[in-house]
């Protein structure tokens, strides 16, 4: 009886967005697993599976920050970077203590998420107290600072513990020691322990966290603070606290995504997480629709695959990529198309709607 009652509820206006997101991820996962096992997936696509998962998680986090909370963040890639290098260093130094890859992966992702969240909170404390686009400016700068720092960081580990330096030749290690960070070369010789399944689980976890937050009391407060600051303050919402909550969760998810990303490659350079990556993540979010998590997932998949699919066009591929982006922007802003979609929506929604999945 209970399940019978629950099924239609999953399609109700309140849950439709969530059902779509989870369904989309699970269906994608199933199809890809089948394709992998029957050998229908090229090695290029197989190698893209984990990175796509990472970008989706980071983009979901960014959408919470930009779409739901309404604060522009131009440094999401940098939180990925913090998470990635934390995870790579931890996994590298724990390789002997915990030889099994799975517990080490979980531990590294948790550490990456935690450290990224701490950085998020530290940045948020001064910035989120201000009104306006200060978060965008500060996260932009923070991205550059972190990139420069990691580019100049040398970290090694041996039986005596960690050795750290900002100058190359000062890392004196006992024989048998291992370099974790090599300045501009980044992390090398990382054991590749990320898996596609871990990526899918991380996406699902990210969705659970974000949806739980969005539809809770705090979530409504976050959206209220975005829609109207003065009215939100007048009903007793602490603007700083709500914005901080969204920002911290966003950076935490970026950290987890970065951790998974870092442990997917044997070599990871700090330059990978530069300003361009932050902007790409923002493009996924905006194209997928602010506050719309399913849209973010679809946009991320399409926009990560597109340049790869266009590889045969060689020199023209980024040109075509740009043209496609512009076309999508134009089409989704087309008035006739918009009204048509509205009509379709009305037919399906019939009565009552929800404001949470606002598409712009």
Based on the number of CB atoms within 10 Å of its own CB, is 141 exposed (0-12), middle (13-18) or buried (19 or more)?
middle
Least distance (Å) between residue 205 CB and other proteins: 27
Which lies closer to other proteins via its Cβ, residue 71 or residue 81? 71
Shortest distance (Å) from residue 328 CB to other proteins: 24
Nearer to other proteins, 99 or 353 (CB): 353
Residue 323 corresponds to which tokens in the numbers above? 């043209």
Q: How many CB atoms lie within 10 A of CB 74?
A: 23
Contact positions vs other proteins (CB under 8 A): 217, 220-221, 223-224, 227-228, 230-238, 351-353, 355, 358
- E strand residue ranges, the chain: 154-158, 161-165, 178-182
* 292 in Cβ contact with 211 (< 8 Å): no
Which class for 5: exposed (0-12), middle (13-18), buried (19 or more C-beta within 10 A)? exposed
Nearest to 298 by CA among 28, 18, 19, 12: 28
Tokens linked to 72: 């522009």
The minimum distance between CB 128 and other proteins, in angstroms, equals 13
Shorter beta-carbon distance to other proteins: residue 96 or 212: 212
Residue 109 or 221 having the CB closest to other proteins: 221
Q: How many CA atoms lie within 13 A of 307 on its CB side?
A: 11
Is 221:237 a contact under the CB 8 Å cutoff? yes
Q: Which is nearer to other proteins, 131 or 335 (CB)?
A: 131
Exposure string of 145-158, with b = 16+ CB inside 10 Å and e = fewer, is ebbeebeebbbbbb
3-state SS, residue 167:
coil
Taking the complex as a whole, the smallest distance from the CB of residue 223 to other proteins amounts, in Å, to 7
User: Quick one: 198 or 222, whose CB is closer to other proteins?
Assistant: 222
Burial 293-314 (b: 16+ CB within 10 A, else e): bbbbbbbbbebbeeeeebeeee
User: Given the complex with other proteins, which of 168 and 233 has the nearer CB atom?
Assistant: 233
Identify the sign of the CA torsion 184, 276, 194, 101. Answer: positive
Closest approach, Cβ 22 to other proteins, in A, equals 23
Report in angstroms how near the CB of residue 236 gets to other proteins at its nearest.
3
CA pair distance 276, 274, nearest whole angstrom: 5
- Per DSSP, the three-state class of 158 is strand
Residue 124 C-beta: closest distance to other proteins, Å = 16
Q: How far is the CB of 354 from other proteins (least distance, A)?
A: 8
CB of residue 229 vs other proteins: minimum separation in angstroms? 9
Nearest to other proteins of 97, 234 (CB atom): 234
By C-beta, is 103 or 126 nearer to other proteins?
126
């Amino acid at each position: 009886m209970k399940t019978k009652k629950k099924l239609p509820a999953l399609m109700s206006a309140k849950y439709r967005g969530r059902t779509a997101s989870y369904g989309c991820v699970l269906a994608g996962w199933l199809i890809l697993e089948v394709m992998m096992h029957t050998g229908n997936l090229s090695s290029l696509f197989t190698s893209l599976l984990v990175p796509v998962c990472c970008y989706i998680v980071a983009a979901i986090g960014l959408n919470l920050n930009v779409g739901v909370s309404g604060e522009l963040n131009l440094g999401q890639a940098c939180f990925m970077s913090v998470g990635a290098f934390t995870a790579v260093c931890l996994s590298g130094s724990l390789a002997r203590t915990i030889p099994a890859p799975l517990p080490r992966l979980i531990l590294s992702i948790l550490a990456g998420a935690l450290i990224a969240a701490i950085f998020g909170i530290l940045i948020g404390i001064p910035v989120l107290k201000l009104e306006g686009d200060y978060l965008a400016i500060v996260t932009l700068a923070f991205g550059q600072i972190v990139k420069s720092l990691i580019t100049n960081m040398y970290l090694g580990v041996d039986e005596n513990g960690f050795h750290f330096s900002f100058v190359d030749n000062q890392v004196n290690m006992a024989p048998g020691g291992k370099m974790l960070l090599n300045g501009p070369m980044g992390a090398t010789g990382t054991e590749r322990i990320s898996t596609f399944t871990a990526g899918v689980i991380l996406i699902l976890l990210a969705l659970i966290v974000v949806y739980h937050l969005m539809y809770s009391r705090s979530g409504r407060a976050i959206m209220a603070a975005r829609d109207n600051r003065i009215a939100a303050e007048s009903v007793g919402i602490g603007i700083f606290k709500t914005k901080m909550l969204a920002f911290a969760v966003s950076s935490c998810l970026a950290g987890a995504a970065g951790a998974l990303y870092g442990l997917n490659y044997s070599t990871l350079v700090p330059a990978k997480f530069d300003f361009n990556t932050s902007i790409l993540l923002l493009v996924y979010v905006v194209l997928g629709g602010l506050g719309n998590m399913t849209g973010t997932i679809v946009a991320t998949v399409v926009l990560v695959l597109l340049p790869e699919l266009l590889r045969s066009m060689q020199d023209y591929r980024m040109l075509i990529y740009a043209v496609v982006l512009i076309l999508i922007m134009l089409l989704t802003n087309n008035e006739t198309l918009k009204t048509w979609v509205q009509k379709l929506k009305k037919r399906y929604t019939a009565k009552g709607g929800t404001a949470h999945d606002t598409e712009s």
